[in-house]
Amino acid sequence: MFRSFLTLSMGVALASASGQALASPDAEALHRTATAMFSPLPSYVAKEGNPKNDAKVELGKMLYFDPRLSQSGFISCNSCHNLATYGVDNLPTSLGHRWTAGPRNAPTVLNAALHTNQFWDGRAADVEEQAKGPVLNPIEMAIPGEDLAVDRIASMPEYVERFEAAFPNEEDPLNYDNIANAIGVFERTLTTPDRFDAFLEGDLNALNEQELAGLQVFINQGCVGCHAGPALGGQIEARFGVVESYWEATREYIGVDQSTMPMDVGKFAVTHKQDDLYVFKAPSLRNITRTYPYFHDGSVWDLRDATQIMARVQLGNDMSDEDLDALMAFYGALEGEIPAQALQLPILPASTSETERPTMR
């Protein structure tokens, strides 16, 4: 399916090769076009089989911030997906257990529940499945097994009570699946409405003229081929480097000869299918001004450079300065409001067992 999107986006881009931003966009006409391609963010992203309740949201928030879900007792979900910095750590790749650098950039958790799958290679179906991975990953949080994670949480009486309240109809509510389910429900509350949502909902004055021009460029150039839907991305997977090699195109922007570095093969590492070589999930562009550095390897820090690289390697275009100026303005309108409750640090349950305290091993 993603190949049809790419074909469409390349066709639109070539049809507008001059790349001139609109001087005076027609807000009404642009609104009609935009509502066919995008949709406003919901306040909550529901999942059948993991119903929301207040107790589960609060429990998930505690677990999200609790570093005791790591072997060292130092790393939490929030360490790499810091809610105070728009769900990222602003590092090229995150630091995990024993300060080991991970192989890929940590994408934002904000609005991630809207994605059709999780991780850069799409190997997890949803945020609940994703939440299980880093806890057990030896270079991330490094808990040796699910049982230890459950035993550590179960050693704290307050957590036992909170799991019973969050999963009231279950005989044994404190288990590894429900640790992930609670974190997932909390993450499903992390949507960030912005002025673009107001525009989509009918406020034609929500975007200024330069931002409207940027939206028009975004559509005309074909960016929407991969970055559509409510999150402006997260819906499809695509080969990184359709027209030109990504590794070659970035040399002039980041000053590093990436030909000497190991290439990330993307989804191929999961499926071992040739068609998945260098295929990655198209990321969300919500809050893109805050989620630097960019791309799966975190190699590009400047959003203008990242945009030009994408135009070249995916669409075969060099964007004009006028179009880039307009796009930067539009990106600014995608900076949303983080839910207030997510920014209030929870008071975590007290550890009561000396044997269950984390140790660096």
Could you give the residue numbers annotated as active site? 140
Give the CA count within 13 Å in the CB-facing half-sphere of 269. Answer: 12
Determine the residue type at 75. I
C-beta separation of 286 from 196 below 8 A = no
Which whole-number Å values give the CA distances from 324 to 141, 245, 263, 333, in the listed order? 39, 21, 28, 15
Degrees, nearest 5: CA angle 190-193-199: 160
Closest C-alpha to 27, from 197, 202, 194: 202
- CB burial class (10 A; 0-12, 13-18, 19+) of residue 344? exposed
Neighbour-count burial for 301-340, b at 16+ CB within 10 Å, e otherwise: eebbbbbbbbbbbbbebebeeebbbbbbbbbbbbbbebbe
